[in-house]
Amino acid sequence: MSLSNAFFAIIRRDLVLALRRRSEVANPLLFFILVITLFPLGIGAQPHLLQAIAPGIIWVSALLAAMLSLDSLFRSDFDDGSLEQILLSSHPASILVLAKIIAHWLVTGLPLLIVAPLLAIFLGMPTHSLGILLLTLLLGTPVLSLIGAIGVALTVGLRRGGMILSLLVLPLYVPVLIFASNAVEIAGSGMPVTAQINILISILIMATVLAPWPTAAALKMSIN
């Protein structure tokens, strides 16, 4: 099997497994929706305040939803031994790991993009900033999966690695959170957001190029 065939075979396999375990797909999405819908109940009937903090609410909720789904990235493969077979393949482990990360984003990150505009309207966000919100989510949520994969790879061999995982990846998520929410906030006021978008693109490119290598190395250490 060629490298490209192996790459797409892993993506297809993970998507099929995700469809069989629908609860793992639904949990992050339901968490994302519930957290956002609870904010108006906690803050009260203050539409101007909700509109002002809507970008931060949506992005913090997306970050927490991504954290909730990270443990499933390699856990089942580690438990059933298929992860070891992937790492022992003749193909570069980093490329195969990237395929698993892409499949993870398609299952957990893409649904957030679909429901985010409805939730943004629910919070009173201006309609002209919805495009920037979707763009920041499109650029930022893959970074969450790529960076999170490194933390998962380091803790996959631990029985209770959830707290350690949070401590590892949360500080690395902060730049994405700052630039993405700031871009949406500035777009709502009608100002250009080219600088923030370019920074997010740069972060995404760097994470795509660099993250699979330490992830694959950490997984090899975890299974030994």
Q: What is the pLDDT of residues 176-219, one digit of tens each?
A: 999 999 999 898 888 889 999 999 999 999 999 999 999 999 88
| Average pLDDT score, the chain | 88
pLDDT at 201: 96
Backbone dihedral region for residue 81 (phi beyond 0: left; psi -120 to 50: alpha; all else: beta): left
CB neighbour class for 72 (10 Å; exposed up to 12, middle 13-18, buried from 19): buried
User: What would the mean pLDDT of 15-34 be, rounded to a whole number?
Assistant: 86
Whether the predicted pLDDT of 9 surpasses 70: yes
Q: What is the pLDDT of residues 123-168, one digit of tens each?
A: 888 888 899 999 999 999 999 999 999 988 888 877 666 677 888 8
Name the residue with tokens 């919070």.
Answer: 123
Q: What is the pLDDT of residues 83-135, one digit of tens each?
A: 888 888 888 889 999 999 999 999 989 999 999 999 999 888 888 889 999 99
